Amino acid sequence: QVLLAESGGGSVQAGGSLRLSCAASSSTDNFHCMAWFRQVPARESEGVAVIDSDGRTRYANSVKGRFTISQDNAKNTLYLQMNSLRPEDTALYYCAADSWAFCSGSLELKNYRHWGKGAQVTVSS
């Protein structure tokens, strides 16, 4: 069973920065894709960023230029560096991963079989 655990959430003022981490219970070398999603109550999950095993990344237009996804396979950890945060970035952020190639470049949660419980990010104006 793959376990993913997010950390690093919190409260910040608009314009500030946070870095989320996602620790995997197994080697991240085994995953073809790792991604970040976010969700606010009463809305569907939104794909934020994905990184493939070859290092290619893709971002949602809403975060492009402000967020950076990266992973450290030596630490089995995925990161999301979030800069220039806005109130509309407030959400529960969670990581997802899969070893199958159909997740490649995907920002749709249906293409991932493993995800964590999430970390809350709150941005105040």
pLDDT score recorded for residue 14:
98
Q: How far is Cα 94 from Cα 36, in angstroms, rounded to an integer?
A: 6
Q: What pLDDT score was predicted for residue 8?
A: 97
Q: Would you state the pLDDT for residue 1?
A: 85
Per-residue pLDDT of the chain (125 residues; tens, 9 = 90+): 889 999 999 999 999 999 999 999 999 999 999 999 999 998 999 999 999 999 999 999 999 999 999 999 999 999 999 999 999 999 999 999 999 989 999 999 999 999 999 999 999 99
User: Smallest Cα–Cα separation from 35: which of 122, 120, 115?
Assistant: 115
What was the pLDDT predicted at 125?
94
DSSP letters, 32-91, are SEEEEEEE-TTS--EEEEEEETTS-EEE-TTTTTTEEEEEETTTTEEEEEE-S--GGG-E
CA dist 78 and 76 (Å) reads 7
